[in-house]
Structure 1
Amino acid sequence: MSLDFGLPPRLGQLAFHGPLSDARARRLVGRVSAAGPRTVLDIGCGWGELLLRVLDVSPGATGVGVDIAGDDLARGRAIAEERGLGERVVFVEESARGTTRDPADLVLCLGSSQALSAAAPPLATVEALRALRGLVTSGGRVVLGEGFWQRAPTEGELAGMWPGARADEYLSLGDLVDAAIDAGFRPLWVETASEEEWEEFESGYRSGVEEWLAAHPDHPSAAETRAKVDAQRSTWLRGYRNVLGLAYLTLIPVG
């Protein structure tokens, strides 16, 4: 959305829809592009920033981004055209659950494992890993961005999170990597978002709306918007801050 329409902006301050810094993204892109992918599939792509960065350094490679958020997909198409990548990428508005798309040399799934499974977490993570195993070519790569508990949350922290938050909702990092191995992968690289990356993401997630609220305190939608953004911030500061982690696993299929 745009301030031109008198409404709060959405995620305009973010390059990635997750705690991923430019520095980590550059390293990750360099690592996976070194394998020479010709096809790239991004599950739950949003506006596909990482997908586009991979294509930018992988001459001749083509990509498909799949998501159900039409506004994000439109943003991705516009960015692709600006970067001269419009002929090499397609953004498709569809569900990834049970997808029949052909396996790709590189599959990205950043914070979107729920797009591949209807199960409740953490079983959804396990089922998503199995689905990803079937979506990658032999010798290809999968990059999974997935939440994990850095430590067991307290009852007070769970109460401060999203409604219905559970202590068994996420795996530990060790169990997450084991689940990837059980699904038929070997972990080439295991890394986790830093506290600084989380702070950049969480603040950037709300920054545009906060600026809008400061400039439009009497707008008809200000009270509702203010309550929503205050609740979002509270779940982070009083709930999952330094408890919920985000792992970036670079995986290679076995066999």
Structure 2
Amino acid sequence: MTATDLPPRLTHLTFHGPLSEERAERLVGELAATRPSTVLDIGCGWGEFLLRVLDAAPRATGVGLDVQEDDLARGRRIAGERGLGERVAFVAESALGTRRGPADVVLCLGSSQALCDPEGPHDVAAALAELRRLVTPGGRVLIGEGFWQRVPAPEELARMWPGAHEGDHLLLGALVDEAVEAGFRPVRIETATGQEWEDFESAYRSDVELWLAAHPDHPAAGETRARVDRQRSTWLNGYRDILGMAYLTLVPVG
């Protein structure tokens, strides 16, 4: 069995998160209007948002950090196709304690765990402190961070991802308070819509669902089917309408 026998990976996703084209276009425009020279993307994946900022800010260069080489290769290919290959580097390395900053724009979209101790619990305060360190004076941080729309009940947590507990996320107000405590002022606070979540969750599994429909008797179908069915259940029967995604545009104080 070779990699070509297995389902393709995330080809139906533009962004690796619940982010619409409309919201992305507006956020990119707002960040590019600050005329950045440098852009740093933490946990960039294939860097679609990073590349759009660079395209909108022609004087800027960018660095994307991630540990998933397949995604980085996809980003390099897309950058080359768009004529941005000379202005961006996709680097396979951990962002924890990175010396790649400071940058005028720092992106951290659904990847704050990359700035936390992998041996400890997710610590959004620590991640925000790192983002404060990595942004230049007068720069911008755009963080996409999960939050509880309401505190989930124990039985709801039990239907989410393995080991899910109330401390995995904060309520939105507490999340913004943490950003202020870390030395930022929030110039924009917005949250993903239900439509953005549904588009993301559906596209996240589209490749696998289509492959399973076409290859029901493949040797890997049973394990793959069980995995994707579990993933779908954690959303539909677990965190749907409970877990939100906040997009916070932050300016460092001082």
TM-score range, shorter chain: over 0.9
Letter in 1 for 2:27: L
Shift of 1:157: 1.1
Q: Distance in 2 between matches of 1:222 and 1:166?
A: 31
Per-residue CA deviation, residues 64-100 of structure 1 (Å, 9 max, x unaligned), is 0000000000000000000000000000000000111
Q: CA deviation at 1:177?
A: 0.3
Give the aligned partner of residue 52 of structure 1.
51
Matched with 2:33 is 34
Unpaired runs of at least 5, structure 2: none
Alpha-carbon offset, residue 9 of structure 1: 1.2
Cα distance in 1 for partners of 2:162, 2:61 equals 40
What is the distance in 1 between the residues matched to 2:88 and 2:246? Answer: 26
> Is 1:165 paired with 2:152?
no
Q: Partner letter of residue 17 of structure 1?
A: H
Distance 1:152 1:101 in 2: 36
1:148 and 2:147 matched: yes
Q: CA RMSD in A?
A: 1.0
Q: How many Å separate the matches in 1 of 2:17 and 2:146?
A: 11
**Counterpart residue number, 1:249:** 248
Q: CA deviation at 1:163?
A: 1.1
Of all paired residues, the percent bearing the same amino acid is: 68
Partners of 2:163 and 2:91 in 1: CA distance: 32
| TM-score normalized with structure 1 length | 0.97
Structure 1 runs (4+) greater than 3 angstroms displaced: none
Residue 86 of structure 2 aligns to a residue whose secondary structure is coil
- Secondary structure of the corresponding residue to residue 107 of structure 1: strand
Q: Secondary structure at the match of 1:46?
A: coil
TM-score (norm 2): 0.97
Question: What is the identity, as a one-letter code, of the residue corresponding to 1:164?
Answer: G
Please say if residues 179 and 185 of structure 2, whose CA atoms lie closer than 8 Å, have aligned partners that are also in contact.
Answer: yes
- Post-superposition Cα deviations, 1:135-189, rounded to whole Å, max 9, x if no partner, equal 0000000000000000011222111001111112211100000000000000010
Decide which moves more: 225-234 or 97-106. 97-106
Indicate the residue corresponding to 1:130 in structure 2: 129
Alignment correspondent of 1:178: 177
Aligned twin of 1:89: 88
Structure 1 residues not aligned, in runs of 5+ = none
Task: Report Cα offsets for 1:104-151 as digits up to 9, x if no partner.
Answer: 000000011000011313xx1110000000000000000000000000
